[in-house]
Amino acid sequence: MSATLIGNRVSESEVFNVPSVEFTKTFKPFHHKQVIEAIRSALNMVGLGIVGQEYALANEGKRMFGVFDLDSGTDELGWSMGFRNALDKSFAITIIAGSRVFLCSNLAFSGNVIEMRRHTKGLSEAELEFLAFRAVKTLIVRLTAFQNWHLGLKEYDLSDTDAKVLLVELISQNVFPASKFPRFHDLYFGAYEPTLWGLHEASTEVLKDANLLTLPKKNKVLNTIINQYIEDIEADQPSPLGDFYERRAKFLNL
């Protein structure tokens, strides 16, 4: 499976050709290429191959986000990893677990950061390589857990009312804008099963064309909303929005 370069995506050569930034006494920014090559080397050491890749750049190339699709996972869900690097002090080197659904190439992230390291003067090339190796070792555990969580969403059926409640939450918390509602509606009510898994898939399908740099944050909010719903269900806690919809439906049917 290869990644589709759309939206704000760029080629690897464009990432590698970003001008370097000079070191200072307190800021030692490793180039995007060095970070990418360290991650590639770590994946190779643990026997994980790369079958697809995507990159995005911002702020004249000083901020980079990348995704590697890996040759592991299940027949339905492939493993991915996200990583970012900045040459302008905006954020640390960061690695995060993700997955991609083979059927529709949806990309999702767990939202939990695996590794972070700021570009301080103490960061050496050897430490960068060790950081990448340690992150990749942790990645395997996190991806297994995320895969199980994702597939477990199929066990939670959704009524139309609950789906509407969650949709309001998704829009109000800026997972995607209200303008994407028709797309979400067609996917969820027309292509996917009425479960939390279907809602998650419809949401990540809508987010496919989103800015790659903002995708992990949106996924984290999406996963938090879903987990809160699961906690409420298991604790038998009714949702105020759900109560509103039920009362509104009864009122309109009078």
Taking residues 137-143, report their average pLDDT. Answer: 87
pTM: 0.77
How many CB atoms within 10 Å of residue 188?
Answer: 23
Structure token pair of residue 109: 């992230």
Among the residues of the chain, which ranges form H helices? 12-16, 32-45, 125-152, 160-172, 181-190, 196-206, 215-234, 240-252
Q: Name the packing angle between helices 196-206 and 215-234 (round to 10°).
A: 160
pLDDT higher than 50, residue 18: yes
Q: What are the tens digits of pLDDT across the range 195-219?
A: 999 999 999 999 987 778 788 889 9
Q: pLDDT of 166-178, one tens digit each?
A: 998 999 999 999 9
Q: Residue 12's pLDDT band (boundaries 50, 70, 90)?
A: very high
Tokens of 237: 């806690």
Q: What's the whole-number mean pLDDT along residues 34-48? A: 93
Percent of the chain with pLDDT over 90: 37
Residue 102 has pLDDT above 80, yes or no: no
Domain ranges of the chain: 9-152, 156-252
Mean of the per-residue pLDDT values for the chain? 83
Give the tens place of pLDDT for each residue, 56-91: 998 889 999 999 999 987 777 788 899 989 898 787
How confident is the model at residue 33, as a pLDDT?
Answer: 94
Q: Is residue 6 very low, low, confident or very high in pLDDT (cuts 50, 70, 90)? A: very low
- What pLDDT does residue 153 have? 94
